[in-house]
Every structure is written in structure tokens, then in C-alpha cells.
Chains A and B, each alone.
Chain A
């Protein structure tokens, strides 16, 4: 296979052709500032309104509840710091989980330094938050629950509707980082009692640098970026019109295609899981076997280290990722893999494959053929494998 095989769709996705076509005119042709009064400005304003409707529809929200941001991290920061700011008179306790994205975890650490108390809920072996743990963590001074919709590394989908129900019953705001879920699994913010939801454009075929925060009507969330009156005074800054248009189109396409694409992705996902775990000994699936994102495969191969695997895959034209420390620049492997109980050495040997609409069965078969010898080659070089073989002779 000569071409590159892209299996890292959870990291980012290419802008879709249809999205790009809609975006292009908003760079030079319809470049007007949406705040101005002349006709080209009205074009921008109209485009923003349309995109807001498209995003709202995908989530089951009202357009007035959608606020465009620069991406998932900004949305997460806004939700957490904003609630902390507006609700601190009621309490200073926030509940989240140990497997959140760093945009949540590092924001929580920042809030801790400002006197907030954070409960980091543990997860079970599949990466799911236990409802009883959540109930036990709720206190009179709890102001916010923030639990991700689906995990970016292991793909596990959290019991969001149940969490939403509990939050609502206890009169606590509920935020979910849905960056990995939007456009991939069905979301209805009203049915699921979600008060705030973060999403990111580039994970679903829109450009980088655009995201949104859904804020349910009535939620007291202070402005995060101060300045002009854009986004009804809640998020200043001249709108990223091309990004906004792209997000609207991409989310509309992803939602429309979901019913057709999901079963295809699940079939490829499960083939990879079944074939790789049976062809390669000492291999474990990380994350929930069924309650997982349609395109997510995360496996741990014992006795080897992830970055080495990625380098060999890259030599074969395959792009994937790993939870190994060596790929993050830190010395610790992924906090998610440690939270589901993996020992360090197995966490270092993890491989994440995330499928998207462009991937084919042929590419999946190619990986199934290429990976076993790579793992074996690295095991033959590994002192841990040598030790294992000697002890099991």
C-alpha cells in the first residue's frame, strides 16, 4: 500500500471537501465583519445564524443556546471557570473524573489553587464512572459536575443521561466535554439534562480553531473573553466566520450520516479488536467492549513500548497514537490507562487506532497484517519478554 493510512481521527480530522467548499467564500468574498451594517456584513451575519442553527439542531438545543468559541479547550475552560466564578457564593465544590481531558483536569487544578475543592471520581476497569460514587460525592456545596461524554483515549461512553438526571435532581449544574462524541454518537441535551456541553470542530471534519459551548437557557455563566458584544455579549471577539460556517456544515453532515456510518465503523472496529487480540498474544482491549465510540480501538501489547510501535507503523505509512510516556514528552504514561488499573508497563505499550469515514476495510486488513510482526520484532528485543519466556519455559 503506497498511500498513507490515517488511523488517528480522534487526534484530528481533515476538513471535508464539502465543508471546504462552503468555507472558502468567507475568506475573501464574504469577508465582512458581522457587526457592521452593510450588505457583505449581513452575509456574514446570516452565515453565522445558519451555522448556529445547524449546531443547535445536532444537539437538540435552541440556536440561542449555542456560543462559538476557539475550540474544545476554550469551551471547557469557560464552563468550569465561569461556573466557579458565578456560583462561588453557593459553594466551592466541583465533581469531575480522573479520566477527563487535560483541558478539564488542568483547569480543575487551577481552580484548586484558587480555593475550590475538586472530587476526581475514579472509574471502573472499563473507564466508566460509577453512579453510586457520583451520588456519594455530592455535597451541599457542590456547584458543578463535569464528566466527559466519551473518553478520547479508550473510547468509553459515560452514562451521561443518568449523570444528568442526578445532577438535575440535586440542582447542580452539569457540564460535559463532548469533543469526542459530537457527530459520532447521538446527543440530546434536553433529554440528557445537560446544562453545558463543549465541542470542537476539527474532530468532525471542520477546521481547527473553532468550537462551541452549549449553554442551556438560564444557566448563570459569566463571560470569559471580555470585549465586544459578539455572541450576545457572552464571548467577545470578531467571529471566525469561515470556522463557524465550517463547523455548521460539518456537524450537519456528521449528524446526517451517523446512522449509516456508525455500523460500518463498528464493524471495522470490532474486526480490528477481534483479529489483533487473537493474532497477538498478551494483548488486552482497553475501554468498554460495547459502550465505546464507533471508531475507537485501544489495545495494550505486553512487553513492548508504544512509541517504538508507532515508529514502525509510520514506516509502513500508518498513522496511529499511543498512551506511552515517550509520546507525550512526560515520564508517566496516560492518566486514563492508569485510572482503569493498567500497570505502568502495560500503559506504555498501548496503541490507539481511531477510525473515520475515510477508512476502508482494506486499510483495516492491512493493519491486521502489518502489526503482528512489528509487535513480535519489538518483543524479541525486549528484556521483559525475555524474562517472561525464561520464567515460563
Chain B
């Protein structure tokens, strides 16, 4: 198993590590049982994601996908943010080893969970956003691409 140079870069120098005190939405997915937890903070103003931060407990791929997902989401509209799929995160990182694909699913889910939290707090409905999967077991059962 070998990580791409980009994955290693985002693991060694992760972008956007931290918390946002007055976050518009916070999403946590995964569980300690299987070794990956991702927590994403979003700052949303006028429908634009102004800032994104994360904290992750997990392997190199989990950290790198968190870093990349938060990078991709910054400056995007909510609608554009929904288009950041696990595939997009993975492609931006020049791919992941097959056993690590589930980490990219986690990044997508964490973004969705933060957006869901934002929608609930503001009593709005975000079109196309489904209630996020919080149980990692379900994520792992997704077919691998």
C-alpha cells in the first residue's frame, strides 16, 4: 500500500486543522470503533462557505481527505458544496489505495453532516441534501469503486 505524493502532502501538512468557534454548521461522522472520526466545521455567510476547519482521528488517508475536502469546499455555494463527492476528493488527491476508499466516503459524509446541521439550525431545507449517515458501518457497506 502506497499513498500518492499529494496524499502524503495533505497528511504531513494538513490544511484547515482546527475549530471554528461560531461555526454555522458542525458535522461529526465515523466512530472510534473502526478507527476514523471526522469532525467538520463550516462558516457559511450569504449562502457561501466562507471557512472550513476539521479535526480528524484516523489514518493518513483520513487526515488527507479531511484536508482536501475542506480545501475544496471553501468559497463554494451550498449547491456547489453538495457536488463535492468522495470521488472528487479522491481525484483531487491523485487517488487512494483500495482499502482506503472508505475514508473518502467519510469526508463527503462529514461535509453533508455539517451542512445538515446548518440547515437544521436555520430551519431551512437544502435541496438534494439527505440526512447524513452517522453510522460508519453503513458507509463501509457501500460498494467500492
Q: Which residues does A use to contact B, with CB under 8 Å?
A: 303-308, 311-312, 315, 324-327, 329, 331-333, 343-345, 348, 380-386
Contacts and interface: CB of A to CB of B under 8 A. Distances in A.
Given A315-B12, A325-B35, A344-B32, A308 B19 contact: no
7 contacts: A326-B61, A333-B35, A348-B32, A380-B17, A381-B63, A383-B37, A384-B32
B59 A326 contact: yes
B58 A326 contact: yes
Contact of A382 (B12, B33, B56, B100): B56
Interface residues of B, number: 28
Contacts of B63: 308, 381
Given A308-B63, A315-B12, A381-B17, A332 B57 contact: no
A307 B34 CA distance: 13
Contacts of B116: none
Contacts of B35: 305, 324-326, 331, 333, 344-345, 348
A345 B56 contact: no
Interface of B: 1, 8, 11-12, 14, 17, 19, 28, 32-39, 55-63, 99-100, 140
A305 B12 CA distance: 15
Nearest to B136: A331
Contact of B34 (A327, A332, A380, A386): A332
A380 B62 CA distance: 15
Contact of A308 (B28, B37, B58, B140): B58
A345 B33 contact: yes
Contacts, number: 77
Contacts of B38: 383
Nearest to A347: B35
B55 A383 contact: yes
A-B CB proximity, top 7 nearest:
A345-B32, A326-B59, A307-B59, A348-B35, A383-B39, A383-B55, A344-B33
Nearest to B99: A329
Given A348-B32, A383-B28, A304 B99 contact: no
Contacts of A312: 12
Contacts of B19: 386
A344 B32 CA distance: 7
Query: Which applies to chain A's interface (DSSP): helix, strand, loop or mixed?
Result: helix
B33 A386 contact: no
B37 A384 contact: yes
A308 B34 contact: no
B39 A331 contact: no
Nearest to A348: B35
B57 A382 contact: yes
Contacts of B14: 381
B59 A329 contact: no
A93 to B, nearest CB: 33
A318 to B, nearest CB: 15
B79 to A, nearest CB: 27
A376 B73 CA distance: 27
A344 B34 contact: yes
B105 to A, nearest CB: 13
B1 A329 contact: yes
A81 to B, nearest CB: 30
Nearest to A345: B32
A383 B56 CA distance: 6
Contact of A304 (B11, B33, B57, B60): B57
Contacts of A315: 12
A304 B58 CA distance: 7
Given A308-B63, A311-B11, A329-B1, A384 B57 contact: yes
A308 B32 contact: no
Given A305-B57, A307-B60, A324-B59, 18 more contacts: A303-B57, A305-B36, A305-B59, A306-B59, A311-B12, A312-B12, A326-B60, A327-B59, A333-B35, A344-B35, A345-B33, A345-B57, A380-B17, A381-B56, A382-B56, A383-B55, A383-B56, A386-B55
A42 to B, nearest CB: 47
Given A315-B12, A386-B19, A381 B34 contact: no
Looking at A306, A325, A327, A333, the one whose CB has the most chain B CB atoms below 10 A away is A325
Looking at B37, B61, B100, the one whose CB has the most chain A CB atoms below 10 A away is B37
Contacts of A306: 59
B104 to A, nearest CB: 14
A166 B14 CA distance: 56
A382 B55 contact: yes
B71 to A, nearest CB: 15
Contacts of B1: 329
A331 B19 CA distance: 28
Contacts of B33: 344-345
A208 B14 CA distance: 39
